[in-house]
Amino acid sequence: MSLVVQKYGGSSVATAEKIKSVAARIKRTADAGSGVVVVVSAMGDTTDELIELAHAINPHPEAREMDVLLSTGETQASALMVMALHALGAEAISLSGGQAGMRTDRVHRSARILDIDPARLKAELERGRIIVVAGFQGLTEDLDVATIGRGGSDTTAVAFAAALGARCEIYTDVEGVYTADPRVVPDARKLKDISYEEMLELASKGAKVMAPRAVELGSVYNIGILVAHSTKDAPGTLIHGGVDMEGFNRVRGIAHDMDVAKITLRHVPDRPGIAAEIFEPLADANLSVDTIVQNVSENNTTDLTFTIAKNDVKRALPVVNEIAKTIGAKEVVADEKMGKVSIVGTGIQSAPGYAARMFRTLSEAGINIEIISTSEIRITCIVPENSVLDAVRALHAAFELEKVEL
């Protein structure tokens, strides 16, 4: 029997009506003879609302309790989806991530998947049931519920597809992966397919249509991931490994991210080991650092700048101030009003001209570049938050992405 894992995101299950129409689609797939495992996200903005509620009660909620709370969003959606399927006369059962066999480590709120035991899923499929799994969560060795990081339902879906040897379909509120966020660039084009590498760069630089870890998992297990609209019957985008490299010297897409803050340590003494002294305590505090730049030193001191998520600034500052004191840095400056824009495409780094065109475009739009970072297939500029959207539109036009063929 063919087997498919279908994931429906928060916006696709935001209301009773939407749950009902998604249920109808799921039933059609099952009626056509496919085994179906559905992974659901929490309805609409439930996760954000639960986080807000928790902070209204305790400004520093424990991560374990947050996971107990946040996992209920997905649990609720899974039960409601099964009720909708029952109302249509389908055989279906909801399972929590743990019941579905997902085991994670104990790092609450950003747990890693250790293992999936698909026995229960297989037994339910044998019974001819549609299974609706609550995404974003698993169980630790101590049987505590742990969530696997924002956007984790995407990762859940790919992980189950890998464990079951099933196809993987991610259904969302846009028709696929576009050359840029279609809400920002109205003439952005939907891509027919995209490589894991390019999608991973776009996702980790802010294109939230796919969670980066889901793309990574897909690449490790070589699972093609179809991204498509949850109710429209339009062809989506296939993320896979076998992308035709013909004409590879091109920009494939533009990602942007408003969630960027910049922290600078001024006048850091320039001696061996200093970078480790700075970044070890940040890692120990589970703070994830993105771009890092160290300037050329002058008089044996240097400035060191890195970026983190805006939400992490409050937690990072005391740690950084402490480090600054220990290593004898003069000053710590934080700027929370930053953002970033990235161009991504296989081969852009080895072909001259892309970086120059990017910088020229931003300069002509009057946008100041604060930091530049690159990978082999990406160039990222950190720019002021209020110029990010202009930057995306200007770059989309400069690289003529509106002309991409479908």
Residue ranges in 206-245 that form contacts with ligand ADP under rule CB under 6 A: 207-209
Of 35, 44, 73, 339, the one binding ligand ASP (CB under 6 A) is 73
CB of 215 to Mg ion, least distance (A): 12
One-character DSSP codes across 54-97: HHHH-SS--HHHHHHHHHHHHHHHHHHHHHHHHHTT--EEEE-T
Report, in this order, helix, strand and coil percent for the chain, each rounded to 5.
Answer: 40, 25, 35
Please choose which of ligand ADP, Mg ion, ligand ASP, none residue 195 contacts, taking the beta carbon within 5 to 8 angstroms, the exact cut-off set by kind. none
Amino acid sitting at position 399: F
Could you give the CA distance from residue 253 to residue 354 in angstroms, rounded to a whole number?
A: 13
150 sits near ligand ASP (criterion: CB under 6 A): yes
138 sits near ligand ASP (criterion: CB under 6 A): no
CB of 167 to ligand ASP, least distance (A): 19
- The tokens describing 236, both together, are 């989506």
Place of tokens 């630790």: 140
Please choose which of ligand ADP, Mg ion, ligand ASP, none residue 12 contacts, taking the beta carbon within 5 to 8 angstroms, the exact cut-off set by kind. ligand ADP
- The tokens describing 128, both together, are 């001819």
Residue ranges in 167-196 that form contacts with ligand ASP under rule CB under 6 A: none
Could you give the CA distance from residue 174 to residue 228 in angstroms, rounded to a whole number?
A: 7
Which C-beta is closer to ligand ASP: that of 136 or that of 306?
Answer: 136
Of 94, 153, 237, 302, the one binding ligand ASP (CB under 6 A) is 153
CB of 50 to ligand ADP, least distance (A): 15
Are 121 and 164 within 8 A, CB to CB? yes
Amino acid sitting at position 103: R
Residue ranges in 133-172 that form contacts with ligand ADP under rule CB under 6 A: 172
Q: How many degrees, rounded to 5, is the angle at CA 320 between CA 315 and CA 322?
A: 110
CB of 234 to ligand ADP, least distance (A): 13
Query: Of 99, 89, 76, 101, whose CA–CA distance to 10 is shortest?
Result: 76
Determine the residue with CB nearest ligand ADP: 9
* Chain contacts with ligand ADP (rule: CB under 6 A): 9-12, 41, 172-174, 177-178, 180-183, 207-209, 253
* Chain contacts with ligand ASP (rule: CB under 6 A): 9-10, 41-42, 47, 73, 135-136, 150-154
